[in-house]
A and B are shown apart, each in its own frame.
Chain A
Amino acid sequence: KQEVTQIPAALSVPEGENLVLNCSFTDSAIYNLQWFRQDPGKGLTSLLLIQSSQREQTSGRLNASLDKSSGRSTLYIAASQPGDSATYLCAVKTTSGTYKYIFGTGTRLKVLA
C-alpha cells in the first residue's frame, strides 16, 4: 500500500532563504508525482508535475526532483518570499491497485518578512 510522507510538517524561514521540502513514498511503481500549494481555505494549485521517466522539473524559482529508486522527491524554493507562505503537498499517482493520487500530509511553510 502506497504511503506518502512529508517532512517537515511545518517550516518557518526568513525572507530570501533557499529551502528544500521533502516527500517520500513507499512504492516506486508510480506514473508521476505532482507538487501542489494550498492557501488557507482554498483549493490546490499545481506547481510542478514530474513524469516517472523524468528526474526533475523547473518553473521559475521552483525546482522539483524525483528519485524513484529511493522513493524520494524534493521541492527546492529559491529566494523565498512572504507570498510563498502556504501548505505544500506532494502527490503520487499509483500504478498498482486503484489508479489514483495518494497525497502526503503537507508541509506548512511560513516565510517571514
Chain B
Amino acid sequence: KAGVTQTPRYLIKTRGQQVTLSCSPISGHRSVSWYQQTPGQGLQFLFEYFSETQRNKGNFPGRFSGRQFSNSRSEMNVSTLELGDSALYLCASSLTGTENIQYFGAGTRLSVL
C-alpha cells in the first residue's frame, strides 16, 4: 500500500507570491491534517479535512487555506507569502481522524526569500 505522498518536496518562492502544496493520503483514508514545522515553534496544527469538509482549524491567519477533493487528496494554499512562512509542511492521513494512527508524508520544504 502506498504511503502518504506530498508534492513538491522542495519549493523556493519570494515574498508576496502564493503557493499550493499537495497531499495524497493512503488509499481509504478520509482524514487529512496539515502541520507546519519550524525550528522555533515546532510542529503546529494548521487544519484537518474529512470528507471534503474542514473539520478543525488551528491558529493561523486566513492566508493559509486548504481543501479536500472527493478522492481525499488535499491541497494547501498560502497566499501573500512572508519570510516567516519558511518551514517544513507536513500532511498526515488517517482512516477517520479520531482514534486512528496518523501516517505522515515526507513533507514539503518551503523557502521564502
Task: Give me the interface of A with B, judged by CB distance under 8 Å.
Answer: 31-32, 34, 36, 41-46, 49, 51, 89, 91, 98-106
Contact = CB atoms under 8 A, between A and B. Distances in A.
Contact of A100 (B45, B100, B101): B45
Contacts of B99: 31-32, 51
A89 B104 contact: no
Interface of B: 4, 6, 33, 35, 42-45, 48, 55-58, 88, 90, 92, 98-107, 109
Contact of A98 (B58, B90, B109): B58
At the interface, is chain A mostly helix, strand, loop or mixed?
Answer: strand
B105 A43 contact: yes
Contact of A43 (B44, B55, B56, B104): B104
Nearest to A6: B42
